Amino acid sequence: MSAEDIVGDAAGAMSADRFVEISYDDVIPNNVALGSDKQLQRALEGWRPKYLDWWTGMGPVGYQQSEVYLRTAVGVDPAGWAKFGYVKMPTYRWGILLAPKVEGRTIPFGRHKGEPAWQEVPGEHRALLRRLIVVQGDTEPASVEQQRFLGATAPSLYDMRNLFQVNVEEGRHLWAMVYLLVKYFGKDGREEAQALLERQSGQINNPRILGAFNEQTPDWLSFFMFTFFTDRDGKMQLAALAESGFDPLSRTCRFMLTEEAHHMFVGETGVQRTIEATCAAMVNAGIKDPNDVEAVRKLGVVDLPLLQRKLNFHASVTRDLFGSEISSNAAEVFGAGIKGRFNEANLKGDDHVLQDATYPVSRVVDGKLIAEEAPALRALNSRLLDDFIVDCQGGIDRWNKSVEKAGIDFKFVQPHKGFNRRIGEFEGKRISPTGEVLAEDQWNAKSGDWLPNEDDMAFIVSLMKPCHEPGKYASWIAPPRVGVNSQPGDFEYVKIA
Ligand code: BYC
């Protein structure tokens, strides 16, 4: 099920207030009647200049005065919520947008299953809720920081525009979490909102909370893989939080999912267009062997084995974001009714309490990989990770279709779940992409074939030359099939100032 489907399903359950318009008269666009909550309004208007300072200091480098063809949300109805137009990024209308309330909604899982969803923070779960909102909020500015240098090497104006669209929407997702913190968590919430602007991706003393958000996104292949894999973790986590018994969190996440779908589109099609350029160049040059790397690279395109290594890296780093496969934190937040499973409310076949259920978890025991039944409540991270891996496969299958269509004998595959992991069951274990348990020296001898190596990175850097002429694309990436909002091929998506 796609993010659009989830949002669509939720929208289907709504009726009278399905078409909720956003007030753009306020300094902060919103559909939460901000004007009638003076305390909240003051707190958010106080945070706003600090956010703008952060955006200027830590957001995209350059292009801040350029006119960018961006979409802005004008409603929260999934059928027509966006308008497109030229905007200078610092003037983007970041706002507070919640999916409409579903009347009579009940908590779909955990100890409180069937009780009315909470409109206020339940005191007993305050600390847990705040922690999850902070972790979610922390990832949003982190990704903008990670991507801040990419504008200068954009392979086209179309791609540059997509990058900036993703960036401004991640900025809005930060606003979404800050709204929850400031409205529902008093002084603590305001302090956390401030700290979200202070931690910095990759900084030694005050890094972002989760590992993958301290990695670099130094080139466009990393950006596309990141938006394919890591934004999809965003989708899975947001979908799990959209099931929350805390209704404001659920509604916030439901609307965020609409935006997240576009980010994954950018990632999937970005990799797909890279593959298409490679395959077309190979066919033109009469190269049949995808492993003839030297010949392929001479054509100014990315060889498919390198793309597989990038895939292996981003898939494994992103899998760490699901936390330990066996987690008492995960059991606690589920039991408390705060974070559900993917698509929880529509899952059939169990009681949504999971007290006596089990779930198979992969682990290494005595040097062998086994699947062991674990209490389902403690295995919820493992289950979400499995759902994520299934969700990734659709896009990878589409990549493989492009390769197949070109008549090239190569297939992209997801590495084994235990490959290159730093968190959870496989931490400290050496597992090959095909799932063999290895000794350290075996791993060291082969890891350069499985993960991007120095040659790969130098080659990628050599390709990262800007192509900023309307309608033109760098050699290594094919043009998109359709323009943004059906614009023509030579449309000037960014008017560079
Ligand atoms: N790195 O029981 P454990 C997105 C910590 S992406 C560092 O194993 P738990 C986006 C963990 O915090 C989605 N630390 O796992 C994408 C805990 O520390 P505390 C982001 C880690 O707690 C692209 C300790 O280890 N949203 O939106 O069940 C662009 C033991 O934890 C890591 C969320 O993640 C790690 N990888 O689950 C922009 C949803 N993993 O609390 C945006 C909210 C674990 O004991 N977060 N730790 O100090 C959660 O649901 C949970 O915090 C996690 C971890 C799933 C992340």
Q: How far apart are CA 450 and CA 292, in angstroms?
A: 17
Among the listed ranges 12-16, 369-373, 374-378, which one has the minimum average pLDDT value?
12-16
Q: Which of 98, 121, 96 is nearest to 43 (CA)?
A: 96
| Class of residue 155 by CB neighbours under 10 A (exposed 0-12, middle 13-18, buried 19+) | buried
**Minimum CA distance residue for ligand 1 atom 28:** 330
* Centroid of ligand 1 to alpha carbon of 53 (angstroms): 27
Nearest ligand 1 atom, CA 226:
23
pLDDT band of residue 73 (cuts 50, 70, 90) is: confident
Report which residue type is found at 393. Answer: Q
**Minimum CA distance residue for ligand 1 atom 40:** 323
Return the structure tokens found at 180: 């929850």
pLDDT band of residue 80 (cuts 50, 70, 90) is: low
Nearest ligand 1 atom, CA 212:
36
Q: Whole-model pTM? A: 0.94
* Centroid of ligand 1 to alpha carbon of 211 (angstroms): 9
Q: How far apart are the first and last CA of the chain?
A: 41
* Centroid of ligand 1 to alpha carbon of 237 (angstroms): 9
State phi, psi for 84 to the nearest 5 degrees: -110, 145
Q: Using the 8-state DSSP alphabet, how is residue 406 labeled?
A: T
494-495 and 82-88 as β-strands: parallel, antiparallel, unpaired?
unpaired
Q: Which of 111, 107, 70 is nearest to 91 (CA)?
A: 70
Residue with more model confidence, 77 or 297: 297
The single residue listed with the structure tokens 């559900």 is 340
* Centroid of ligand 1 to alpha carbon of 90 (angstroms): 30
Q: How far apart are CA 149 and CA 161, in angstroms?
A: 14
pLDDT band of residue 7 (cuts 50, 70, 90) is: very low
- Distance (Å) of CA 378 to CA 112, 238, 353: 18, 20, 12
The single residue listed with the structure tokens 């989830």 is 6
Mutate to test the pocket of ligand 1, among 125, 131, 135 (most ligand atoms within 8 A of CB): 135
Q: How far apart are CA 340 and CA 350, in angstroms?
A: 13
| Class of residue 93 by CB neighbours under 10 A (exposed 0-12, middle 13-18, buried 19+) | middle
**Minimum CA distance residue for ligand 1 atom 25:** 323
* Centroid of ligand 1 to alpha carbon of 322 (angstroms): 6
Look over the chain and give the mean of its residue pLDDT values, rounded to a whole number. Answer: 93
Instruction: List residues near ligand 1 (CB under 6 A).
Output: 131-132, 135-136, 139-140, 143, 170, 210-211, 230-231, 233-234, 237, 320-324, 327, 329-330, 339, 381, 423
Query: In the predicted model, is pLDDT for residue 18 greater than 70?
Result: no
Q: How far apart are CA 19 and CA 26, in angstroms?
A: 19
Query: In the predicted model, is pLDDT for residue 11 greater than 90?
Result: no
Return the structure tokens found at 373: 């039944």
**Minimum CA distance residue for ligand 1 atom 20:** 136
Q: Give residue-wise pLDDT tens across range 26-72.
A: 778 888 988 889 999 999 999 999 999 999 999 999 999 999 999 98
Nearest ligand 1 atom, CA 132:
43
The kind and range of the H/E element at 317 are helix 304-319
Strand partners, 362: 371
What is the mean predicted confidence (pLDDT) over 436-461? 97
The answer to whether the beta carbons of residues 270 and 314 sit under 8 Å apart is: no
* Centroid of ligand 1 to alpha carbon of 396 (angstroms): 25
Q: Which of 144, 148, 133, 161 is nearest to 71 (CA)?
A: 161
Q: How far apart are CA 269 and CA 266, in angstroms?
A: 6
Q: Give residue-wise pLDDT tens across range 323-351.
A: 999 999 999 999 999 999 999 999 998 99
* Centroid of ligand 1 to alpha carbon of 421 (angstroms): 14
The single residue listed with the structure tokens 């993010």 is 3
**Minimum CA distance residue for ligand 1 atom 54:** 323
The answer to whether the beta carbons of residues 492 and 469 sit under 8 Å apart is: no
Mutate to test the pocket of ligand 1, among 199, 237, 262, 426 (most ligand atoms within 8 A of CB): 237
Q: How far apart are CA 174 and CA 190, in angstroms?
A: 13
Return the structure tokens found at 468: 């900023």
**Minimum CA distance residue for ligand 1 atom 10:** 234
Q: Using the 8-state DSSP alphabet, how is residue 227 labeled?
A: I
Edge-first strand listing for the sheet containing 494-495: 82-88, 67-73, 494-495
Query: In the predicted model, is pLDDT for residue 267 greater than 50?
Result: yes
Query: In the predicted model, is pLDDT for residue 15 greater than 50?
Result: no
Query: In the predicted model, is pLDDT for residue 380 greater than 60?
Result: yes
Residue 12: what pLDDT? 32
Mutate to test the pocket of ligand 1, among 217, 324, 342 (most ligand atoms within 8 A of CB): 324
Helices (H) and strands (E) in the chain, counts: 14, 5
Q: Using the 8-state DSSP alphabet, how is residue 79 labeled?
A: T
Mutate to test the pocket of ligand 1, among 257, 321, 332, 388 (most ligand atoms within 8 A of CB): 321
**Minimum CA distance residue for ligand 1 atom 26:** 136
What is the mean predicted confidence (pLDDT) over 464-469? 96
Mutate to test the pocket of ligand 1, among 143, 169, 210 (most ligand atoms within 8 A of CB): 210
* Centroid of ligand 1 to alpha carbon of 293 (angstroms): 38
Strand partners, 494: 68
Mutate to test the pocket of ligand 1, among 169, 241, 263, 329 (most ligand atoms within 8 A of CB): 329
The answer to whether the beta carbons of residues 222 and 216 sit under 8 Å apart is: yes
Nearest ligand 1 atom, CA 133:
43
